[in-house]
Structure 1
Amino acid sequence: MNLTKSAVLAVTIFIIVLSHVNCQSKDETTTTNPETPKEKTKVKDSKLCSKCTCDFDNNLLDCAEKLQDWLSSEEWQILTNGDFVFKTINLEHNNLTSVPILPKYDVENLYLANNQIDSIAEGAFQNLTELSTLDLSHNRLTSKVLVPDVFKGPYTVNDFAALEKLKTLNLGYNDLHSLDADLFEHIPNIEELILCSNTFHVIDRLSETAISGLLSLKILDVSYMEIDDLPDTILHGPRDLETLIAAGNLFHKLPKALERATNLTSLVLNQNPIENLVEDNVFPSLTKLTHLSMTFMSKLYKIGPGAFSELQSLTELILSDSKLLNEIDGEALSKNVTGGQYLDYPPLEKVYLNNCNISTLPKELLVRWDKLKALDLRFNPWNCDDSNDYLINVLIEQVNKTTSILAKNVQCSTPNELKDVEVLRVANENLIGSSGSIIWVGLLVILLIAIPTIIGAYVMKRRGCFGVFRRHDSGASSALYNRTSFNEDFHI
């Protein structure tokens, strides 16, 4: 009996052990044989590429003007499960009206410009964690629609993460008049912000807070916003700002905010109603500025001494198409940096003064004119007398050697006998001296005609030939007319 119990116990133990071994074997089989991965969709052969342009060489999916609405679920599935990842997706000109929460995809550049977008879902871009460029320009976005959570990133345990890779945001040509103070809290690494052609009228405190908080900002476009100034501290935060575009606004004076843009390298102030650059309305110290453009300045008439003196790194100066600009002071660029007897000048390479109202160019405006690679003086009313000796005898020849096309249409306006004559011709033919000679030649011709006539008249009077003289008055007049005609043909 005891033997039987022992045998039963042994058998039971054996079964339990065997069962445990079998279970372990099944577990090992499960872990060593994972599921077969889902086969990737061949994007090149998909319906999406027959509907849109798939440019594989440039990593571009171009659906501009090809959609009636957003991509369908099936089309997104082709992308998210495809064997190729497009780095750029272009959805412009499709009359899209809203932006939903987009599926997870590693797109880097998304273009949604020129649609009718007037609403964006919160977290619309949270699944696009590789997004670097987002273009929402030329839509119908309002300040009410554009709230901070629109740009929030993927959800984490504690909160929503930031879209840290987003560097360029284009909000131009919308219906914005202000920015939420926290608009960029989820996209703190923005380097390029475009706000152009939104009628702000004034950059209020909330907008100033939003922009000044972008510490990585390098390019800021606030052009055509109908603003008459920039808040003094708007550029206090983005100390790395390199390019500021503020064209087409209502600035009557240079914004004081420029004083804080110490790392600025390029500044565009075209089409602002600034009347002059004199006294306290001159540029502050911008030691890294190399490019300055002030074109189509409809009211600018004078550039005074010291206007550009604090821009000692300037290599390109564009002042063209300012129809009232008639005076540039000879000390507009110079600065006495060392306190010695010599002045310092910026290393200018390109100067554009075309289509203005300038008649005289001071030699002392720039010492090293020979360093210029381009000097555009065309379409100005140049004075071609001794007051412009340096332009006529030195500069125009240099322009002709470096860029001959820029030597054409540099024409004299005065004196009258040289009007519309090219300055290069005046230089080559030494006409600047001839203009005075013409007068003397004319006087000489008159004397040569007048003296014999007077003598002849006297002789005829003594001989009593006045009657004959009267009878032939018309002939004499004709003769005098012919001689005068010869004199009039003697011109340049």
Structure 2
Amino acid sequence: MNLKVFLAFLVGVILVASINGADTNSSDAAPITTTTVATTTVKPVVITKDSALCKRCSCIIDILELNCNNKSMSQWFNDDEWNTLINGDVSFVTIRMEHNNLTNIPALKPIPVKNLYLNHNSIGTIVNAAFRNLLNLTVLDLSYNKITTKTLRPEIFQGNYKKDAYEPLPNVIQLDLGHNDLHTLDSGVFEHLPKLEILNLASNQFHVIDRLSEVAIGGLVHLKTLDLSYMELKELPDNLLHAPRDLERLILTGNLLDELPDGLHLSINLKSLTFDDNLLTSLEGENVFPLLPKLEYLSISYSNDLVKIGEGAFSNLPNIKTLELSDNPKLSYIDPKAFAKATVNPLIYDRPILKELNLHNDNLTTLDHDLLDRWDKIEQIDLRRNPWDCECNNSWLINTLMTQINDTSPLLVSEIVCATPLAWKSKKLIELNQEHKILRCHDDSNTSGDGRLLIGLLIGILVGIPISFGVLLAYRRGYFGLLFNRGNSGQSLYNRASFQDDFHI
């Protein structure tokens, strides 16, 4: 019996060994083993709100924002924090890392962020292809850093390498480079950002837009907003605005421009132009706006040297809706034909219909009724803080326009006051309107006729006084008696003899 048991055991061992050998050599064995190992290495989903990342930064789950502002961060996220961003149950759309101490941007890991704010740091170094894994990136804010032309290379915006070229960053439409240390641009710096629509270069001391920078900006064929404010520019290249044909908004605030750019007429799709705080002294003659058929918003404010708006200054802006002409301390004259566009009839002019007119804090004393045709269509008129003349030449402003302003924007009437005459100084125009104290002026519609009548009467008085005086003097000296005697001199040549004369003969 023992021998039989031993033989059975031996046969079983041989069979098991043969089966194991067959499994080892089987072609299906490897995938089974691999699959088993792979399932054991999958990382579990991280509960974002309970993570260390949300203890270091503010996780605003309802708007999918990670706010790491003002955290004194000098380094980027550690491995655990990156793991939360990649594998967490919340995919942050916006990441804010403003007002920190970051000095560099490494190759960022693949996260679904769309809006990345890195402004107000000390970033001066950016590696090549730093953003290649951010395939959803739309808005990138690098303003208020230490980025130089050497830092801002085309390679930092490279996408993934495919076949024999780098792909672009496909979704970036807004790039903010304001307040850095840029003085020029590499001509190809934006070649990996083909869909860029908004570019901010404000407060980089360019002084001049050189040829390389002109090529870089000109290559942005889909650009819609360009901010060139506070760059100490004295002029713009004539063809700078030629290539970005879709440009809708141009900001030129705070430069050294003393006249309108010659190439402005190339921006035929421009809708908004901000020309504040420049060196303009007047808009007249050849220095007036070219035809900009789609322009709706224009601001020329905070111009300390602007004195005069001349005839035709805005006549080529047929669709302007909002004019900001405020805080120009020397602006004392706006020509009645500033908006007037000549027609085939020399007596008729076209003027745009404004929605908003702001003339706040200028040096205006009068406002001509003929400046616009449809004052009644304006929804907001701001005339505060001007030295208004409250004489009859402004009766239309006081009697009519003030009523409209009080009806549409009552908060804007309190600071519209008289500067002259002295009797009305500091008097609110709306009070003159309501109290009917406007110097007993005649009705506006008869102002011109009454003026002619008064002038004629004055001339009559001035001429009549010396004539009357002369006549009186002649009378008193007997000149009129002499004239009468001369009138009877013919009769004195022959006197008929009287009856008494015949009697004596």
Q: TM-score, normalised by structure 2?
A: 0.80
The alignment partner of 1:390 has SS state of helix
Question: For residues 30 and 341 of structure 1, what CA distance do their matches in structure 2 show?
Answer: 95
Question: For residues 337 and 47 of structure 1, what CA distance do their matches in structure 2 show?
Answer: 71
- 1:243 deviates by 0.7
The alignment partner of 1:209 has SS state of helix
Kindly indicate whether residue 328 of structure 2 is the aligned counterpart of residue 325 of structure 1. Answer: no
- 1:32 deviates by 8.7
**Kindly tell me: are residues 68 and 28 of structure 1, through their superposed partners in 2, closer, same or farther at Cα, counting changes over 3 Å?**
closer
**Residue of structure 2 in register with 1:63 after alignment:** 68
Amino acid aligned to 2:317: L
**Residue of structure 1 in register with 2:488 after alignment:** none
Alpha-carbon deviations, 1:359-378, whole Å to 9, x = none? 11011000100011111111
**Residue of structure 2 in register with 1:54 after alignment:** 59
Kindly indicate whether residue 109 of structure 2 is the aligned counterpart of residue 103 of structure 1. Answer: yes
**Residue of structure 2 in register with 1:118 after alignment:** 124
- 1:41 deviates by 1.8
**Residue of structure 1 in register with 2:314 after alignment:** 308
- 1:29 deviates by 5.5
**Residue of structure 1 in register with 2:49 after alignment:** 44
Question: For residues 354 and 179 of structure 1, what CA distance do their matches in structure 2 show?
Answer: 38
Cα root mean square deviation, aligned: 2.2
Cα contact 2:395–2:441 (8 A) shared by 1 = no
**Residue of structure 2 in register with 1:446 after alignment:** none
**Kindly tell me: are residues 25 and 202 of structure 1, through their superposed partners in 2, closer, same or farther at Cα, counting changes over 3 Å?**
closer
Cα contact 1:418–1:435 (8 A) shared by 2 = no
The alignment partner of 1:49 has SS state of helix
Amino acid aligned to 1:228: K
Q: Among residues 174, 180, 188, which one is paired with 2:180 in the alignment?
A: 174
Larger radius of gyration: 2
Which stretch of structure 1 is more off in the superposition, 322-331 or 67-76? 67-76
Alpha-carbon deviations, 1:83-126, whole Å to 9, x = none? 22111111111111111111111111111100011111111111
- 1:305 deviates by 0.7
Amino acid aligned to 1:211: I
Question: For residues 291 and 400 of structure 2, what CA distance do their matches in structure 1 show?
Answer: 32
Kindly indicate whether residue 376 of structure 2 is the aligned counterpart of residue 370 of structure 1. Answer: yes
**Kindly tell me: are residues 338 and 192 of structure 1, through their superposed partners in 2, closer, same or farther at Cα, counting changes over 3 Å?**
farther
The alignment partner of 1:104 has SS state of coil
Question: For residues 28 and 187 of structure 1, what CA distance do their matches in structure 2 show?
Answer: 43
The alignment partner of 1:389 has SS state of helix
Question: For residues 422 and 432 of structure 2, what CA distance do their matches in structure 1 show?
Answer: 13
- 1:430 deviates by 2.5
Question: For residues 179 and 360 of structure 1, what CA distance do their matches in structure 2 show?
Answer: 47
Amino acid aligned to 2:54: C
Aligned-pair identity in percent equals 45
**Kindly tell me: are residues 28 and 227 of structure 1, through their superposed partners in 2, closer, same or farther at Cα, counting changes over 3 Å?**
closer
**Residue of structure 2 in register with 1:457 after alignment:** none
Cα contact 2:74–2:103 (8 A) shared by 1 = no
Question: For residues 296 and 34 of structure 1, what CA distance do their matches in structure 2 show?
Answer: 70
Q: Among residues 191, 195, 202, which one is paired with 2:197 in the alignment?
A: 191
Task: State the aligned residue count.
Answer: 420
Cα contact 2:142–2:177 (8 A) shared by 1 = yes
- 1:186 deviates by 0.7
**Residue of structure 2 in register with 1:280 after alignment:** 286
**Residue of structure 1 in register with 2:424 after alignment:** 418
The alignment partner of 1:322 has SS state of coil
Kindly indicate whether residue 392 of structure 2 is the aligned counterpart of residue 409 of structure 1. Answer: no
Query: Which residues of 2 match residues 33-432 of structure 1 at below 5 A?
Result: 35-36=38-39, 37-66=42-71, 67-337=73-343, 339=345, 341-432=347-438
Instruction: List runs of 5+ in structure 1 lacking aligned partners.
Output: 1-14, 437-492
Amino acid aligned to 2:231: M
- 1:73 deviates by 2.3
Query: Which residues of 2 match residues 427-466 of structure 1 at below 5 A?
Result: 427-433=433-439
**Residue of structure 1 in register with 2:474 after alignment:** none
Instruction: List runs of 5+ in structure 2 lacking aligned partners.
Output: 1-17, 443-505
Cα contact 1:69–1:94 (8 A) shared by 2 = no
Amino acid aligned to 2:138: S
Cα contact 1:417–1:435 (8 A) shared by 2 = no
Alpha-carbon deviations, 1:414-448, whole Å to 9, x = none? 12211111112222223222599xxxxxxxxxxxx
Question: For residues 214 and 354 of structure 1, what CA distance do their matches in structure 2 show?
Answer: 37
Cα contact 2:140–2:175 (8 A) shared by 1 = yes
**Kindly tell me: are residues 28 and 210 of structure 1, through their superposed partners in 2, closer, same or farther at Cα, counting changes over 3 Å?**
closer
Q: TM-score, normalised by structure 1?
A: 0.82
Amino acid aligned to 1:114: H
**Kindly tell me: are residues 145 and 388 of structure 1, through their superposed partners in 2, closer, same or farther at Cα, counting changes over 3 Å?**
same
Question: For residues 229 and 261 of structure 1, what CA distance do their matches in structure 2 show?
Answer: 16
Question: For residues 212 and 289 of structure 1, what CA distance do their matches in structure 2 show?
Answer: 21
Cα contact 1:181–1:210 (8 A) shared by 2 = yes
Amino acid aligned to 2:141: D
**Kindly tell me: are residues 61 and 27 of structure 1, through their superposed partners in 2, closer, same or farther at Cα, counting changes over 3 Å?**
same
Alpha-carbon deviations, 1:202-247, whole Å to 9, x = none? 1111101000110110111000000011111111111111111110
Cα contact 2:351–2:373 (8 A) shared by 1 = yes
Which stretch of structure 1 is more off in the superposition, 333-342 or 110-119? 333-342
The alignment partner of 2:341 has SS state of coil
Alpha-carbon deviations, 1:53-101, whole Å to 9, x = none? 1111111111112223211122112211222211111111111111111
The alignment partner of 1:178 has SS state of coil
- 1:31 deviates by 9.4
